[in-house]
Amino acid sequence: METYNLNVEEFLDSHTKKLSNEMGTARRTAKMDIPVITVSMQPGSGGHSIAKRLAERLELTYVDKEILQPMAICNNVNSKGLEIAEKYRTKGLGDFLFSMFSTKHVHHSQYLCYLKEYVSILGQIGNAVVVGRGVNFILPKEKRFAIRVTAPLETRIKNVAYGFNVSYAEAKKRIANRAAKRREFVRNNFHADIEDPLHYDLTVNTSRLDIDSTVETIIGTIIGAQVNHAFEKSESYILRKQQ
């Protein structure tokens, strides 16, 4: 059976040249215009590491907790207050009680408003990889490429146990708690199910893929989308006959 030595650098180079030719002479020397890549993940699936490596490989801006500082500056609030609001994601009575003990407190509704405003700015700029925070629900489809990183529960428990040097039971507990918080955040603020695959353009299962293999898979999909101008569309009908 014939085998192929897949060199991702050569793959990227050849497809970038093809894309450049299609874009016309005027833009041949320009950097590929990539929308915001959003990375949502199941806890323990390796999503953070994948997002960071993806940003490095494509030379895009990596945005995780870094988003809090510009949000604070733009809205003249304390970044620590935003950090607390994000960590605990309190609402209603919880907001009230927490504000009694902290002068840096930012109400949940304020945090969400600041988040949406800054994410909208990122959507205009593009060329960034943004982790979590329901960003794929904030940006319109044509402004983002949404990725969901998954893995079987058993795999994720082992990942957390090994990665944080905790027991199996503790790892399982951490995953359940974090998953519940993320699910509640998306349900309460975007009226959506974070696990619904229809909210994502690409879902990857890391149970058999390492970080590099997963990143290469994502890059291949992005290149294909660029070549076929998929990022310019909010919807595509694959069974429609070509004109």
Domain positions in the chain are: 33-226
DSSP string, 161-197: HHHHT--HHHHHHHHHHHHHHHHHHHHHHH-S-TT-G
Whether pLDDT at 72 is above 50? yes
Whether pLDDT at 109 is above 90? no
What dotted CATH number matches 33-226?
A: 3.40.50.300
Task: Assign 49 a pLDDT band (cuts: 50, 70, 90).
Answer: very high
Per-residue pLDDT, 101: 43
Three-state secondary-structure class, residue 41:
strand
**Which amino acid does the sequence have at 210?**
D
Residues 208-219 have a mean pLDDT of 92
Whether pLDDT at 52 is above 80? yes
Q: 146 in the Ramachandran plot: left (φ > 0), alpha (ψ -120 to 50) or beta? A: beta
Whether pLDDT at 194 is above 70? yes
Task: Assign 27 a pLDDT band (cuts: 50, 70, 90).
Answer: very low
Structure tokens that stand for 96 in this block: 């009230």
Task: Assign 28 a pLDDT band (cuts: 50, 70, 90).
Answer: very low
Q: What is the pLDDT of residues 74-91, one digit of tens each?
A: 888 877 888 887 777 655
Q: What percent of the chain has pLDDT over 90?
A: 46
Contact 8, 118 (CB under 8 A): no
Task: Assign 130 a pLDDT band (cuts: 50, 70, 90).
Answer: very high
Whether pLDDT at 103 is above 70? no
Question: Which one of 58-72, 81-95, 195-209 scores highest in mean pLDDT?
Answer: 195-209
Whether pLDDT at 15 is above 70? no
Contact 35, 144 (CB under 8 A): yes
Residues 16-25 have a mean pLDDT of 45
Per-residue pLDDT, 14: 54
Residues 174-197 have a mean pLDDT of 94
Whether pLDDT at 178 is above 80? yes
Whether pLDDT at 173 is above 50? yes
